Amino acid sequence: MKAKKANDPMTATRNAPRRRTSPILAAVHESISGLHSIGAVSLETMREFDALCLSPVVELAPAQISALRLREQVSQPVFARYLNVSKSSISQWESGAKKPDGAALKLLNIVQSKGLKAIA
């Protein structure tokens, strides 16, 4: 077994506080982290478990995107700047012509749960 370095970036990332969906998942994650720290759980398994703890990305309907923007009281161009997309993309998402995906969809999910200030 390899000795861990004190400045290992994976250890720092793994030990950073994360928002979990339930106290049960937080407790299980803490237990698995402890097992990893003593070498009972591999780094690969720990990474897979970390991935399971991420918040799911939910698709949003056009009306939900529009309502989200209106809730945050911003125009389409301003909303586009926050999400780092074009005004045209916001317009197409809100009309249903296109659907957001990838990083833009993740950012929309964050804005939906935490507000626009979370990505500002």
- Mean pLDDT check: name the lowest of 23-32, 57-66, 91-100, 105-114: 23-32
pLDDT in tens, 30-89: 899 999 999 999 999 999 888 888 888 999 999 999 999 999 999 999 999 999 999 999
* Predicted local confidence at residue 13, as pLDDT: 35
Span 110-118, average pLDDT = 95
Options 1.10.260.40, 3.40.50.1240, 3.90.1150.10, 3.40.50.1970; which CATH number does 62-118 get? 1.10.260.40
From the list 119, 100, 102, the residue with the least C-alpha distance to 61 is 100
Task: Give the percent of the chain with pLDDT over 70.
Answer: 82
112 pLDDT more than 50:
yes
Exposed / middle / buried, residue 83 (Cβ in 10 Å: 0-12, 13-18, 19+) = buried
Residues 6+ apart with CB under 8 A from 73: none
The residue with greater pLDDT, 38 or 23, is: 38
Residue boundaries of the structural domains of the chain: 9-52, 62-118
